[in-house]
Amino acid sequence: MTLPVKICGLSTPETLDVTLDAGADMIGLNFHPKSPRYVTPDQAAALAARARGETRIVALVVDAPDSLLAALRKAVGPDLWQLHGSEPPARIASLRASQAGLAMKAIGVSEAADVARVADYAAVADHILLDAKPPKDALYPGGHGRTFDWTLLKALGPAQPFILSGGLTSENVGDAIATVRAMGLNLAGVDVSSGVESAPGVKDPAKIRAFIAAVRAASSDTSSA
């Protein structure tokens, strides 16, 4: 079985269409104003309407107030909320109770203590996404095109499913998948944003296709090994 692929930070109909044609399982729409991948609710609504029924729609928010979530729920109707800020577990539980859609909690990783935080969220989040921790002076969260030490994830054990993100590209995603699966971990998908761009916020159609093809090839290789 091939791994689910999420292409995050889409902002144009053209690159969305390429993503859908290439077979992405999830698309991410970024609602953090400081990100170069930011889309307005109106832009996102048009993209979501184009994608609905073809893939799962993920709304990426950072410490968002209930008023913004309610507006996005009405305009965009996401299938999942990706919480990419400093939201505590109680906030995840509250969001799941008050908003339609599942919750994906993103956790930045640079050391073992970050991996240990997964246990705090596992009971309240529907999905866990593990990303590289951003630089201390970063204006927005996320991996900023950087990978992290995947061997840190060994502490998770085989029972905890997670989606891997952070600096992935078509060139290294096969190694990432092989490394994680060799540790017996429950890899539930991969996520990419800057790794399929020609410039910050500018998605590259050829890179999108190459990334998804690389994941499919690596999934096939590891499942038949």
- Residues involved in catalysis: 8, 131
Residue linked to tokens 């965009």 = 76
The strand pairing partners of 8, in sequence order, are: 28
Residue 41 to residues 12, 123, 178, 201: CA-CA distances in angstroms?
13, 30, 38, 17
CA distance 49 to 59: 14
Distance CA 116, CA 141 (A): 19
Contact 25, 4 (CB under 8 A): yes
Q: Select from 104, 119, 136, 108 the least CA-distant residue to 29.
A: 104
